[in-house]
Chain A
Amino acid sequence: MLALILRRLFYAAPIALGVSIVCFSLVYLAPGDPLQAVMPADVTPDMVEMIKHEYGFDKPIPVQYALWLWRALQGDFGLSIGSRRPVIVDVLGSLQNTLLLTSFAVPIAFVIGYSLGAIAGCFPGRWLDRIVTGFAVMGVSVPNYWLGIVMVIAFAVELSWLPATGMGPRGSDAFSIFSLDDLRYLVMPVFTLSMVPVGIIARSTRAAVAEIRGQDFVVTLRAKGLSEIAVIRHVLKNALPQVLAVMGLQFGYLMGGSILIETVFTWPGSGFLLAKAIINRDIPVLQGAILLLSLVFVATNLVVDLLQSAIDPRIRRA
């Protein structure tokens, strides 16, 4: 197992390096001079040279990248142009809030998606299957930020049951998951965020269950005289590793892909930070947030991979 972990880390390292190169290059995709945003309007040519030197922009690009990577490894992504705080502070703080959303959304999506998929997979082609499949297609086709807006219209504007946006009157720092008042702010973002994973997990569970039901060992179980419920229990257990892998990937996707939902609910997470950074053309925040979020994604994939081989030894051998 240790050898496996080391081998997977060995494969993940160059990818992480590649990711950092892409994030670094974002500065050069930006139109105009990357320093424009930090310079005052009446800057003299001498000062431009000085600031360029200060930021290291007068060095060749590979050297700049090495310097940037070296600082990034130490957690130094520079100062945010918008908030003037260190980028790492802003990004880590907001990452926590996003983690809060996803750690509720993913388990909920798993429970709903797995149950729906299991039901559909046990009755392929029947009306229950059709309803679930239709629901799953809707889940993966719905623009989730629009669903968020519809939820706000229904439950905040029309019914006034739930708060429309934000993380509570006391702000994000005082948010507590043990306070019922604060939890009300979680309901709509979590539900909206879990919609797409519900569809995806239901689809893959259905496929896995339907496939496993056709395998030889199921015939053996039936031949042994097991009741249908006991057979289904065996099938579901066998489908679990595949579906857990899908769930793990969804966790990574939600961490990096919650930008639209967080914009709709003005949830102060990493996606919202990113959206603000784009509007303010705050390149250091953009770079830092994207690098950290994609590293979270790489790390999640790695963990999912390892967990899967821990659960299912057949994968390890392959």
Chain B
Amino acid sequence: MAHTLAVSTPTDVDPDVLPATIVRGYWQSVAYRLRHDPVTLFFGAVILLIILAAIFAPLVAPYDPYKESVIARLKPFGWRGHLIGTDELGRDLLTRIIYGGRISLFMGLAPVLIATIVGSALGILAGFGGRRINTIIMRTMDVFYAFPSVLLAVAISGAMGGGITNGMIALSMVFTPALCRISETATAQVRSLDFIEAARASGAGTFTVLRHHVLGNVLGPIFIYASSLVSVSILLASGLSFLGLGVKPPEPDWGLMLSTLRQSIYVNPWICAMPGAAIFITSICFNLVSDGIRAAMDVRM
């Protein structure tokens, strides 16, 4: 799949002037398709905006995320310059949502990254390392497959006592089996192809074959699957902190804010839903961008 040449016909040029086809490399054609996909571009831009706002939170946010005020508790939208109101301790909600993006985005990306590295390493090892290693690795993964993802995440981080690090470990363990399975399948497919044999015959060692021939073909499917996990990871991580297994107050985090504001739904209902809207928007953006990348890379899963 990875190193085929894609042929595409440009539609926006005068047919009398140019030859009928332009031949591009694989990555060039992926980039071409992405550039002409307005939906993916738009939601990608929104993600970029959210990431930038989180990184430069002190410059963007209008207030101090920790500054409490007794008289300004649970105020409605637009109250005295608080665009989307204040929380149960009188802190500016917009500010806290902007700061909260830091942890939520981190928890969306870090476990997926860890699981991608660990999972694809294990998968390549299982696909290349002979029957015995394969059985040991893949049967262990099957066991972790036997848990519903939410349950496994809650079980591990619940038993370990919560917190960001434990949540990260838990989510990485949730995502690793699927990534391992995908890279094992891809490795096994590539392994039987002729060009591997050719490389072997011309004297390439196992490591060289892995690095130059296997990795390039395994990374495509892995990357696409991993990109679809980011939104799942954000949802699961905020769910963990909603259950009290994430960061400790007063740290701003979307799931935790949702959980504390939930106590006040009878005071100022719609204010309390705001942190969840942030989770929703972020997760939907990552989902749509991942769909767009998948379509552009033209990989069927």
Q: List residues of chain A with CB under 8 Å of any chain B CB.
A: 14-16, 18-19, 21-23, 26-27, 29-31, 137-138, 140-143, 145-147, 149-150, 152-153, 157-158, 252-253, 255-257, 259-260, 263-264, 274-275, 277-279, 283, 286, 290, 293-294, 297-298, 301
A-B contact pairs, 19 of them (CB 8 A): A14-B139, A15-B142, A19-B143, A19-B147, A27-B159, A30-B161, A31-B161, A141-B284, A145-B242, A145-B258, A149-B262, A149-B276, A150-B276, A253-B150, A257-B149, A260-B150, A275-B243, A294-B147, A297-B151
**Contact partner, B144, options A22, A157, A158, A275, Cβ 8 Å:** A22
B265 touches A259 (CB 8 A): no
Q: Once the chains bind, are B148 and A18 in contact (CB under 8 Å)?
A: no
Which B150-171 residues sit within 8 Å CB-CB of chain A?
150-151, 154-156, 158-161
A294 touches B272 (CB 8 A): no
Contact A259 B143 (CB under 8 A): no
Q: How far is the CB of B255 from chain A (nearest CB, A)?
A: 8
Flag if B160 contacts A143 (CB, 8 Å).
no
Partner of A29, one of B142, B159, B243, B287: B159
B298 interfacial contact with A, CB 8 Å: no
Is there an interface contact between B265 and A153, defined as CB atoms closer than 8 Å? yes
Contact A257 B258 (CB under 8 A): no
In the assembled complex, the Cα of A189 lies from the Cα of B283 at a distance in Å of: 22
Task: Name the contact of B283 in the complex, choosing from A26, A143, A290 (C-beta under 8 A).
Answer: A143
Closest B residue, CB atoms, query A17: B143
- B215-239 interface mask toward A, CB cutoff 8 Å, 1 = contact, 0 = none? 0000000000000000100010011
Q: Which residues on the A side are within 8 Å of B151 (C-beta)?
A: 256-257, 259, 274, 290, 293-294, 297
Interface residues of B (CB under 8 A from A): 139-140, 142-144, 146-151, 154-156, 158-161, 231, 235, 238-239, 242-245, 258, 262, 265-266, 269-270, 272-273, 276-277, 279-280, 283-284, 287-288, 291
Q: Which secondary structure characterizes the binding site on chain B?
A: helix
Q: Which residue of A lies closest to B160 (CB)?
A: A29
Q: Indicate which residue in A22, A255, A264, A274 contacts B154 across the interface (CB closer than 8 Å).
A: A274
B260 → chain A, closest Cβ, in Å? Answer: 12
Which chain A residues lie closer than 8 Å to B266 at the CB level? 157
Please give me the residue from chain B that is nearest to A19 by CB atom. B146
B159 touches A283 (CB 8 A): yes
Is the beta-carbon distance between B272 and A143 smaller than 8 angstroms?
no
Decide yes or no: A143 and B239 within 8 Å by CB, A29-B160, A290-B155, A294-B147 being known contacts.
yes
| Chain B neighbourhood of A277, CB < 8 A | 158
Residues of chain B with a CB closer than 8 A to A137's CB: 284, 287-288, 291
CB distance from B138 to the nearest CB of A (A): 12
Q: Is the Cβ of B283 less than 8 Å from the Cβ of A279? A: no
Q: Which of A22, A150, A257 contacts B150 (CB 8 A)?
A: A257
> A31-B160, A157-B265 in contact; A260/B287 too (CB < 8 A)?
no
A147 to chain B, nearest CB (A): 8
- Are A158's CB and B276's CB within 8 A? no
**Is A141 a contact partner of B265 (Cβ separation < 8 A)?**
no
Bound-state CA distance A252–B152 (Å) is 13
With A260-B150, A278-B243 known as contacts, the answer to whether A157 contacts B269 (CB < 8 A) is yes
Q: Assess the B140–A286 pair: CB atoms within 8 A.
A: no
CA distance A256 to B153 in the complex (A): 11
- Evaluate contact between A142 and B148: CB separation under 8 angstroms: no
CA A152 to CA B258, docked complex, whole Å: 13
How far, in angstroms, from A222 to B270 measured CA to CA in the complex? 53
Q: Please give me the residue from chain A that is nearest to B154 by CB atom.
A: A259
Residues in B neighbouring A30, C-beta threshold 8 A = 159-161
In the complex, are the beta carbons of B287 and A141 less than 8 A apart?
A: yes
B242 touches A293 (CB 8 A): no
Closest to B148 in A: A256
Given A146-B273, A257-B148, check contact A279 B244 (CB 8 Å).
Answer: yes
Closest 9 CB pairs of A and B: A146-B276, A18-B143, A256-B148, A257-B150, A278-B158, A256-B151, A141-B284, A26-B159, A153-B269
